[in-house]
Amino acid sequence: MDRRKASTVKAIIFDMGGTLKKPFMKNASIRPGIDKVMEILGLEGNADAYEKKILERYYEYRKWTRKTLTELSERDIWTKWLLPGEQKGKVAHYAVELNSAFKEALGISELRTDAVSVIKELHNRGYKLGIVSNTFSSTGTPSILEKYGLKEFFNTVILSSGFGRRKPDPSMLLKAVADLNVLSGEAAYVGDKIDRDIISAKKAGFAVSIYIKNPGKPGIDPEYPDLKPDFTITELSELLSIFKK
C-alpha cells in the first residue's frame, strides 16, 4: 500500500466497539439486567416473560436500525420499542438507567490493551483525534473514556444514539471532520467492520481507511467484494508505523 496517502492525514477517527474496545463478549445470561429493569420500574410479574419480550423487541429494533440507518435515543428505544405502553412516563424518566442496566447485562467490552498508549502517542505526534461509533447507549463511551483518562485526547465524539443516524451512512464521519476543522481528504478512519466502517469512510471521501481485524467479523463484504481498506492491522499499535511524527 502506498503510504504517501497516510502522510496527508491530519486527523484520525476511531470506531469504538471492536476497534478501541476489544470484540464484544456476550454474557451467558442477561437475567441480572432484566431483574434490574424490573426493580427500577417496580414491575411485577414473570421475569422470564419480560426477558423474552425485551430481547425480542431489542433484536427487532436492531434489525430496524440496520435497515433504516436510524438510531433513536434511549427514551424512544424504551418507550417505543422495548417497553411500549408500560408506564410510559416512568419508562421515559428512567430510560438512560434502564438502558445502562440492559447493555451491561448483554456482555462485556473493555478497551484493547494498547489503546491508551496508542491514543496518547498519536496525540503527542500532533494528530487530531475523534470517535464515531454506532451505539444505542449515550453513556457507555463517555464512561469508558473517563475511566481510562482519555476524554481530553478526543476533540470530537459522535455517537449514533445522539446523532440519529448510523454507519454506513457517512454523515457522522462528515460531521466529525467538520468538528475537527479538517478536510475529508485529510482524515483517516479506523474500524473493524468492512460493511459499516470501511464503506462509510470511502463514502465520506477519507484519505485513508484502516481495518482492524475482528475474529468475529469477515474481512470481505460479499455485497462489495472489491472494496478494500487502505491498511489492514491486527493491533492498534501498528498505527504508529503508519502515522509518523
Residue 1 has what pLDDT? 53
- Cα separation, 80 vs 57, whole angstroms: 10
Residue 214 has what pLDDT? 80
- Cα separation, 206 vs 8, whole angstroms: 11
Residue 97 has what pLDDT? 97
CA angle 190, 192, 198 (to 5 degrees): 60
Quick check: 208 pLDDT over 90? yes
- Cα separation, 210 vs 233, whole angstroms: 7
Domain ranges for the chain: 6-23+110-242, 26-108
CA angle 143, 148, 151 (to 5 degrees): 65
Residue 124 has what pLDDT? 97
User: Residues 152-161: what's their mean pLDDT?
Assistant: 97
Which overall architecture, per CATH, does domain 6-23+110-242 show? 3-Layer(aba) Sandwich (3.40)
Tell me the pLDDT band of 212, cut-offs 50, 70 and 90: very high
Tell me the pLDDT band of 225, cut-offs 50, 70 and 90: confident
Beta carbons of 20 and 14 less than 8 angstroms apart: yes
Per-residue pLDDT tens over the stretch 176-204: 999 999 999 999 999 999 989 999 999 99
SS3 content of the chain, % helix, strand, coil (to 5): 50, 15, 35
Please give the mean pLDDT across all residues of the chain: 93
Per-residue pLDDT tens over the stretch 45-69: 899 999 999 999 999 999 999 999 9
Beta carbons of 201 and 223 less than 8 angstroms apart: no
Residue 219 has what pLDDT? 65
